[in-house]
Amino acid sequence: PPPDAAVNLADIEKLAKTVLTKTAWAYYRSAGDDEYTYRENIASFGRFWFRPRVLNKVSQISMETTLFGGIASSIPVYVSPSAMARLGHPDGEMEITRACAKEGVIQGVSANASCSLDEIMGAKAEGQELIYQLYMNRSRQRSREIIEAVDKMGFKGIMLTVDAPVPGKRERDIRAQGEDFQGPSEGKAEGKGVAQSISGYQDPDVNWADIAWIKGITKLPLYIKGIQCVEDAEKAYEHGVDGVIISNHGGRQLDFAPGAMTVLYDLHQRRPDLMQKMDVYIDGGIRRGTDVLKALCLGAKGVGLGRPVLYGNGCWGEPGVRRVFQIMREEIATTMRLLGVTRLEDLRPEIIRYVDRDPV
């Protein structure tokens, strides 16, 4: 079917399952242990319901915003950096880059991208901006070289991912055993799964002192990705970062880590002041326009999509990634109108309420 046949992101996921290789599907879809956090990400959005306002003249609405230090974005949604786009499409991350240019969306590029940074920057349109996601290397010298290189290449910010000192135990990925996988540098995954085979360089000793170290190397805005409690959001702020990304890696790391929306709610309840002082983003389980607007009601500046982008890319390449963002754009527009909101700034906590049960 053509991309337009997909009515929602679930349609794209269903199709991806049938067209991706066994290894790619297992790696993309996998999550930690029994996948409670994977499901809880989605469930945590289900516990917020709207309090819509009516009779508000909603023909004219604006969904545009700026994310990551003033970069224009057509919707408050960005590509959360995810590894190995070439497992789904031969042009991998470059297809995502091209789609982002056309949809006016910001791409986070994974440290474990399967295309080289030169290839990705070569695919970029004029004026298009990208963010680089960093994993701290066991060799700080190597990390220094990477930071200097991405700064020089024109990336507009760095996301340091901190929820993966070691990879979580992802059983779908391990069982698929990388049978049809050719890694960028290490060849066959040898029964460990894709995640294990690409993450060996990542330093489990990455720690808070590394924040100052990175800030000593580059003036690029720095975001910490993988904050999972209020205390660490406070610590991140004290360390002078430009923002945090509330994330549990799409449930791929610690099982029973809280749902992303639960952490955002805690932060909003306990430290609303912090959310004025630094940008807060969120990813994990966002599949609907309503999810996006709920997060914005609680003060998130933008939300990231992980798997849906890889699935769209795996089904159709660039047009599939574009379809993902078109669906989100249409759903956000409809939801804003039905909520009686015409500007993103008008999304306030009063527009939602927490309900202590899962929707039927």
Residues taking part in catalysis: 135, 163, 249
Q: Encode the chain in three state secondary structure.
A: CCHHHCCCHHHHHHHHHHHCCHHHHHHHHCCECCCHHHHHHHHHHHCEEECCCCCCCCCCCECCEEECCCEEECCCEEECCCCCHHHCCCCHHHHHHHHHHHHCCCEEECCCCCCCHHHHHHHCCCCCCEEEEECCECCHHHHHHHHHHHHHHCCCCEEEECCCCCCCCEHHHHHHCCCCCCCCCCCCCCCCCHHHHHCCCECCCCCCHHHHHHHHHCCCCEEEEEECCHHHHHHHHHCCCCEEEECCHHHCCCCCCCCHHHHHHHHHHHCHHHHHHCEEEEECCCCCHHHHHHHHHCCCCEEEECHHHHHHHHHHCHHHHHHHHHHHHHHHHHHHHHHCCCEHHHCCHHHEEECCCCCC
In the bound complex, what is the minimum distance in angstroms from residue 90's beta carbon to ligand FNR?
17
Interacting span for ligand FNR (CB under 6 A) from 44-52, 235-243, 299-307, 314-322: 299-307
Binder to ligand FNR among 3, 32, 306, 312 (CB under 6 A)?
306
284 in contact with ligand FNR (CB under 6 A): yes
Q: Tell me the per-residue interface mask from 134 to 163 with ligand FNR, x by CB under 6 A, - otherwise.
A: ---------------------------x--
Binder to ligand FNR among 80, 107, 114, 196 (CB under 6 A)?
80
Binder to ligand FNR among 91, 93, 255, 283 (CB under 6 A)?
283
- The residue among 112 and 143 lying less far from ligand FNR, judged by its C-beta, is 112
Binder to ligand FNR among 23, 133, 228, 262 (CB under 6 A)?
133
83 in contact with ligand FNR (CB under 6 A): yes
Interacting span for ligand FNR (CB under 6 A) from 7-15, 94-102, 104-112, 272-280: 104-112
Interface contacts to ligand FNR, rule CB under 6 A:
27-28, 41, 80-83, 110-112, 133, 161, 225, 247, 249-250, 252, 283-286, 305-307, 310
